[in-house]
Amino acid sequence: MRALLTLKEASKKYGDRKILIDVSLAISRGDCIIIRGSNGSGKSTMLRMVCGLIPLTSGQRLLEHTNLVIGYTPDRLSKLRMTSTEYLTHMGRISGMTKKELKERIKELHDLFCLEQSNQLKMSHFSKGMLQKTNVMQAMIKPPDLLVLDEPFSGLDEESTRHLLHSLKKIKEEGTSILAAVHDPLLASQLESNTYWIHQGRLSKESINTSSEQKVVYFELEGSIDLSVVDHLLESFPDITYKRNQSGYTLITFMYKDYSSFLTEFINKGGEIVSLTRKELSS
C-alpha cells in the first residue's frame, strides 16, 4: 500500500544537541502507530516534524499528495473563554470550510465524542477530559487523512480515557490513520497498532499488531524508594510508569513480562514494598 506520508532519514538538532537521528517511517492509510519513549526522548519533536510544523535538519518528508489533510493535537489545550462550538467554528473557518459544512461537522463531532454542545458553557470551565475531547475535535474539524496525537490521555480519569479510546477506535475503523505519542503501556495496548520506540534519538520498531482483544496483565506496586532510583529503573524497564500518591508513597505500574526482574532490581536498589496488586485489562 502506498504511504500517505514518509520520513526518510529525518534528523533534527538544535545547535549541537541532536534530538532525532536518521528517523525513517512510512504511514499508510488506516495505520495506527504508537510512538513510545521516555520524557525528553523526542516524541513531540517527531510528531511536529510529521505535521510539517518544524523543519527537518536533514532528510526528507514526503507526502502522497499535496492536499493531504493532517490533524494535530498538542499535549494540552488552553481553557479559552469561548464555547466548544465557537472554538471549532473559528478553527473550521481557518481551514476554509463553509458555514453549512461547519454546522454539520461540529454537531457530528460533539456526537462522536459524547460532548454536550452547549451555547453557554465556556471552555474555561471545562474538565480535563472535556478539554482533551475538544482538542481532538479541533484536529478533526476538517476530516483528516492522518490524525496526530501528542499524549491524548495525559491526566484523564478512567471514564474520560474510556470514552476517548472508544472514539479513536471508531475513527480508525473509518479509515483515518493515527499517529500517537502515548507514555502509558496499558493505554498503548488498547489500540490495535504498531509500536515504535525512540531511544537516544533513534526510532526502532517494537512489535507488530498488538491486538486490542488480548488481555493485558500488569502489576501496581505501592512502596517507598528514592525517585532518582526510579529514573535509573526506567533505563532498564522503559514500560514502567510511576507517580506519588496522597500517602507519600510511590505507585509504580509495570508489565507482567518484567515481574521477576523488576521486583529483584527494585529491592536491590533499596525499595520497600507496601502492597503489590496483580491486575488485568481487556478491551
Here the CATH number for the domain that contains residue 112 is 3.40.50.300
Print the domain residue range for 261: 216-281
Residue 209: the pLDDT is 43
**Burial grade of 213 (CB within 10 A; 0-12, 13-18, 19 or more):** exposed
207 DSSP β-pair partners: 195
Give the domain-ending residue among 181, 210, 239.
210
The answer to whether 155 and 128 have CB atoms below 8 angstroms apart is: yes
Same domain, 267 and 159: no
Neighbours of 273 (CB within 10 A): 15
Residue 263, phi then psi, degrees to nearest 5: -60, -40
Cα–Cα–Cα angle for 228, 237, 153, rounded to 5 degrees: 90
Same domain, 66 and 199: yes
Which regions in the chain score pLDDT beneath 50? 207-213, 283
Same domain, 135 and 194: yes
At 220-240, the pLDDT tens digits run 899 999 888 887 888 888 778
Element (H, E) at 87: helix 84-94
Instruction: Give the position of cell 500517602.
Output: 247
Residue 185: the pLDDT is 66
The answer to whether 87 and 123 have CB atoms below 8 angstroms apart is: yes
| CATH label of the domain that carries residue 247 | 3.30.70.1150
Same domain, 39 and 103: yes
Residue 208: the pLDDT is 40
Give the domain-ending residue among 177, 210, 243.
210
Rounded CA gap, 211 and 80, in Å? 38
Residue 213: the pLDDT is 46
Residue 177: the pLDDT is 94
Strand pairing report for 202-210 and 58-63:
unpaired
Same domain, 12 and 79: yes
Same domain, 110 and 150: yes
The answer, as to whether pTM is greater than 0.85, is: no
The DSSP result for 127-142, as a single string, is: -HHHHHHHHHHHHTSS
Q: Tell me the three state secondary structure of residue 6.
A: strand
Reading the block at residue 51, the C-alpha cell is 505535521
Reading the block at residue 38, the C-alpha cell is 521516555
Q: Check the CA dihedral 120-138-92-144 and report its sign.
A: negative
Same domain, 140 and 56: yes
61 DSSP β-pair partners: 7
Half-sphere exposure of 25 (CA within 13 A, CB side): 25
**Distance (Å) of CA 66 to CA 61, 63, 95, 145:** 12, 7, 15, 12
Same domain, 74 and 182: yes
Rounded CA gap, 76 and 181, in Å? 13
Same domain, 23 and 59: yes
Same domain, 12 and 138: yes
Residue 149: the pLDDT is 94
Residue 232: the pLDDT is 82
Rounded CA gap, 208 and 201, in Å? 21
Residue 186: the pLDDT is 64
Instruction: Give the total number of structural domains in the chain.
Output: 2
Give the domain-ending residue among 166, 193, 210.
210
Same domain, 131 and 220: no
Rounded CA gap, 184 and 186, in Å? 5
Same domain, 181 and 255: no
- What is the Cα 58 distance to its own chain's centre? 25
